[in-house]
Each structure stands twice: as C-alpha cells, then as structure tokens.
Amino acid sequence: MTDTILQLRDVKKIYNTGAGDFVALKGITLDVAKGEFLGIVGKSGAGKTTLLNMISGVSEISSGEVLFVPPEQLSSNGDLKPVSIGTLNQDELAVWRGKNLGIVYQSFELLPQLDLVNNIMLPQEFAGHYQPAISREKAMELLDIVELTEHAYKLPAHISGGQKQRVAIARALVNDPPIIAADEPTGNLDSVTAETIFQIFTKLVEGGKTLIMVTHDMDLAARFTRRVLISDGELVDDLSDDDASEEEEIITISEEQVIKENDDNEGALLTAYTGRQGNGDNIDTSQPAILLEDVVKTYVNAAGSFEALKGVDMRIEFGQFVSLVGKSGSGKSTLLNMLTGIDHPTSGCVTIGGEDIYSMSESIRALWRGRNVGIVFQFFQLLPTLSLLENTMLPMDYCDVYAYNERPQRAMELLKMVGLEEHAYDLPASVSNGQQQAAAIARSLATDPPIIVADEPTGNLDSRSADVVIRVFRELAARGKTILIVTHDPSLTSRTDRNIIISDGELIDPAIARALPSLDHPQMLQATHQVEKRVFEPGEMILRQGEPVEQFFMVANGRVKVNSKGMDKAVACLERGQFFGEVELMGDGNALANVQADGSPAEVAMLPKEHFYQIMQQSPETVELLKRVANERRAENLSRVGLEVAS
C-alpha cells in the first residue's frame, strides 16, 4: 500500500510484575493509512492505551515491529523506506517523535510554572526549532484554533481541566507533525467542548494529517474514517462503514450484558463496603456536611486578575449524593479545591461539618483532610512504584488509621469493591487508565472518610465501569456518606440526589434549572441574576384572578394550588420544579385563576416579565416548551370547568 504511513506487525507487549507476566497486547497487526481518522475503541483494560504507546514509541515493544513511512517518502512506485520505531534508541526516538508525532495525553502533562503560550512552544525548543517571535506567533495561532486566545498568559492552575486539554492539543500541533495520537482527548470534556475538539480533529484530517484516537465512547465510533475494536489485548474487529449494523449489534449486546451482570452482582456490591458509615474523626454530623458562604477566588497573573469564583454560597447535608455540573472553565475544579482545602479562597468562609478548615494550619488541615475527605482526582495520582494494594493502603499509613496488620485486608476489600482484586499486586503502569481510576476511588475510601469528592470520576471509564462506580457511590450515600462528584455528563445527574450547576464562577438558581432545563447555562445564569424569591404562608394569595400578571413564577419549595372563582376544588396543584404565569404572559396578561400557597409555606422564584420576554427571544426551545405547557393547561382548565358546570 503506497498510502500506508504506519504498519504494526505482530506487536506484543508483556508487563513483568510481582504477580507474574501480564500480556497486554497479543500480536496486533494493523495498517494505518495516511490522512485517515482511525478510532481505537474498547472498554477499560482492553489495551487501547498500550497500543497507542507502541505506536508512539513511549513504551518498549516486547516483540513484533512498528514501521513508520515518512510522508515525503511515499511514492507511487512502492519504493518505501520505513523506519522501525523499535530499533531507535531513546535520543533517536525523541527526535523522531518531535518531528513526526504529536501526542495528546489523557492528563495534559502541562508544566505548571509556564503559561499556556510557553507550554505550547516547548516541543519546538526540544526539537531545536525555537525562534522567539515566530514560535510565539505560531502558539497564538494554535490557541486561536482551540478558542483559548484570551487565556494565553495564564498558568495551567488558573484554567479548567477541559481548557488544559485544549492547550495539550494545541501543543501537539506546534511542530506540524503528520500524525496526531490522542488518548481519550474528550473523556473529561463537556459535550460542547468535546464536539469542538472533535471538529478540530476532523479539519486536521481533511487537511491531510493522520489522526489516531483512543476512546471508550462507542457513540463516537461511527464518526471515524475507520475504527478498530480491541478486547483483552487483541483486535476483535476492524469496523468499516459497511459494518454499522454489526457494530450496533455488538454495542447492544454489550449493554444488555452490563445490565444483566449488574443485576446479578447487586447483592455483592451492597455488602462489599464495611466501613464506619460516615463518622469522621473531627466531623460534627449535626452541622451541614459542606457550607460555603460568599466564597471568592481571584487568580492574579501577568495578564491581570481573573475571578474564578464570584461569591459562591452552597450548602450540602450529610448523606446526600450531589453532582456539580458546568462547562469547561465554569469554575468546577476551583470550587472543588476550595471545599477540600487544597487551595485558599480569596475571601469567604468554607465550613466542613461545622469546622472552618481555613482556620487550621497547612499541616493540620492536611491531616484533617486525610481522615475526613476522600478525594478522587481527575487523573488518579497513583504512585508508580507501588502496587495498587500499596497505593490503597497509603492513606491508612499517613493518617494512622486501622491496625497495621488490618490494612492489607482492608485495602483488598476496597479493591474488590471496584473490581480490581485480581490486579491488587500490579503496578499502575500495568493496568489501564480506567482501572487506575477505579484504584483511585478505592484509595479515596481507605480512611473511611464521611465525605467523598470526585473530579470527573467516570470521565476515563467505559459505560460498564462507570456504571459500577456510580452504583458504589449511591450505596455509600445510602449508608450515610456525603458524595460530591464533578461531571460534565448529563446522564449522571439523573442518578444523584441533587444537581448543582455552575456557570462563569457562579451557581445557577436551582428553581430556574429545574423549571427551564432547555436554557443553556449562560441563559440560566442571566435569569439567576434577575430572579427574586419570596416565601408565601399557607393560604396566602400569590396571584388573584383577573389582575395583571407581571412575573413568571417557579415553585422552588413547597406546593401551590390553582383555583378559579366559583369553583370549590383546586384546578391544579403545582410542586417544586413546576411553574405558572406563562399562560398569561403569552396571552392577555391577566390572571386566569387564583394561585395560593397550599398547606405549608411555599417558596416561589419570580422572574420579571421583561426578563422573561428577553429569555424567550434567546431560546426558541424554551418558547416551544412553554407553549406546549400553556396549551395543555388551557385544555385541562376548560375540561375541569365543563365538568364542574355539568355537576
């Protein structure tokens, strides 16, 4: 094939561990064509990342061969001069990678002390191509491609995880390599940002680049030029466009198996955890688990100041399972750092279980955190020289909890709970990224803390592994633990007790989020700035029939009842998340019925009509929703009136 840029011939990878040899790849043979967008799909632990490491020369090949054909040497007469990557020494490999391969890692690998521009220019310095003015101009062009120009001179710590991933993509392009290798580049991004990244990759392929992307997201499979399915270290299928129906069948069967296996394992899952059920050493469970009051976080850098959090108030009770949702750059990770004591707020108060954690010294707060807050980082942060079992035991050793001889058994129980008992003695490098994340979750439970916070805990996991993790979290919450997960995956929010949305460093009013879910986050935030709340006592009138309606009403808490004059029975009862006033605001403007608090105090969020109309202009989807509800209510009211008259 004259257009083949990479050839893999019977590639094997064997890891040597204390528990014996582990065969991660079992004789992979694969050709990659110049200019194709190749997707390598498979569940966690299938061998995806290991295969990518073989292609990029990051890890040594145990046997077999990876051949690279430089694009300039491709010719129609078949006179190919491939380079055998496995025969290059480390210096030669570094030069080859710098010229021919851009790598987008799952964990960005940005240098924390350099701003974004200088991080992007690094590969040119390593390759000896650095020219101050030209390299900086190139870096700015790439930041523009990934829509981060305004953040050019910020440090990585001052931007979100999703934004860091985009910087990593820009850096991979700086030397204009013919091949881009990306390991789960959209795994930790919200859907909008992920789509932006995918579109960037698509344009690069259209421009002639070869792109190899590893993913566990089967929804992306149909969008690649070609996709290969890997399972247990072997290619089990090479899926072309003609195989779409067969692929769908494979995925459907897989999902059915997941459901069945989860049902079969329900009892085991529920009995796997035998901790102290949420009682930390210094936590007062009569107080809120987490309480943030007017928390502000401002970062200052060469480009000026940036307010990441803008007066956040948040209260979470013990035993709640809460999801924190927001787009990339919204402030999710910054907020998480505030409540875990990892970063200091510029102003405001952070209280955990009644304890002001920033009144503690750094050393005392670190010990407090180890005993009372389990943290699941976005990128595991396992120690590479310790086995998974030893990594899980570390917090017990550091915080001096559990008897020394009980710790191995305790750690093994936790690894079993997340399905890793067979890998307990493996090093992190010997297991997949998804399995490393599962180990990080086990480690977060090591000291049996009452609070668990997790930053995108399922972002690197296939659907089956992600489902197991969420089920574990749900069970822990049922047993009294407080779980807060940061996620961009809307499918997870329906499985938590409560959903908190953050946008541009501010929390969105939950009444707006529940009543008008079709608004995007900036529109919700705009409405949050304008909404007023009031508590109405039982029986107190909110709207009086025939009087002008000046606001759009959303029930925040409690219940309201709707009555028409002359009718004894309530026309309708509206509860939290429901709304009223839309019929009048979209009609003649006068109240069609009486509305009053029913039985107990009702908290109502009220949006002035001018702002209601403004939002309607911005969101056609919301207009359609309100029209549908208004029509249904008109029809229901007419029906009820007819029945009342007939009786």
Q: What is the pLDDT of residues 370-379, one digit of tens each?
A: 888 888 876 7
Q: How confident is the model at residue 513 (pLDDT cuts 50, 70, 90)?
A: very high
Q: Is the pLDDT of residue 271 over 60?
A: no
Q: Residues of the chain with pLDDT > 70: what percent?
A: 84
- 543's enclosing H/E stretch is strand 541-543
Output the pTM of the full model. Answer: 0.68
CATH number of 510-646: 2.60.120.10
What fold characterizes domain 37-60+88-260?
Answer: Rossmann fold (3.40.50)
Tokens matching residue 233: 């270290």
Q: In 3D, which of 191, 186, 159, 166 has the Cα closest to residue 521?
A: 191
Q: In whole angstroms, give the CA distance from residue 85 to residue 525.
A: 52
The secondary structure of residue 27, as a DSSP letter, is E
433-444 and 388-399 helices cross at what angle (nearest 10)? 20
Q: Is the pLDDT of residue 349 over 90?
A: yes
- 9's enclosing H/E stretch is strand 4-17
Q: Beta 234-239 vs 355-356: how paired, if at all?
A: unpaired
CB 4 within 8 A of CB 64: no
CB 351 within 8 A of CB 315: no
pLDDT: which is higher, 529 or 222 = 529
Beta strands in 137-289 (DSSP E): 179-183, 210-215, 226-231, 234-239
CB 525 within 8 A of CB 481: no
Q: Is the pLDDT of residue 284 over 80?
A: no
Of 347-361, 386-400, 465-479, 509-523, least confident by mean pLDDT is 465-479
Q: What SS3 state is found at 499? A: strand
Residue ranges of the chain assigned to CATH 3.40.50.300: 37-60+88-260, 271-507
Tens of pLDDT, residue by residue over 196-232, are: 778 888 888 998 899 999 887 777 778 898 989 998 8
Residue indicated by tokens 């990678």:
97
Tens of pLDDT, residue by residue over 29-85, are: 999 999 999 999 887 778 888 898 899 888 889 999 999 988 766 554 555 578 999
Tokens matching residue 609: 């009509």
The pLDDT score that the predictor gives to residue 277 is: 40
Please say whether the structural domain 271-507 has been given the CATH code 3.40.50.300. Answer: yes
Q: Residues of the chain with pLDDT > 90: what percent?
A: 28
Beta strands in 128-272 (DSSP E): 179-183, 210-215, 226-231, 234-239
Q: How confident is the model at residue 247 (pLDDT cuts 50, 70, 90)?
A: very low
Q: What SS3 state is found at 77? A: coil
Residue ranges of the chain assigned to CATH 2.60.120.10: 510-646
Collect all residues with Cβ–Cβ distance below 8 Å to 81 and sequence separation of at least 6: 69, 70, 73
Q: Give the end-to-end CA distance of the chain in Å, rounded to a whole number.
A: 84
Q: What SS3 state is found at 551? A: strand
Q: In whole angstroms, give the CA distance from residue 367 to residue 387.
A: 23
The pLDDT score that the predictor gives to residue 104 is: 86
Mean pLDDT value of segment 333-357: 89
- 147's enclosing H/E stretch is none
Q: Is the pLDDT of residue 279 over 50?
A: no
Helix (H) and strand (E) counts for the chain? Answer: 20, 28
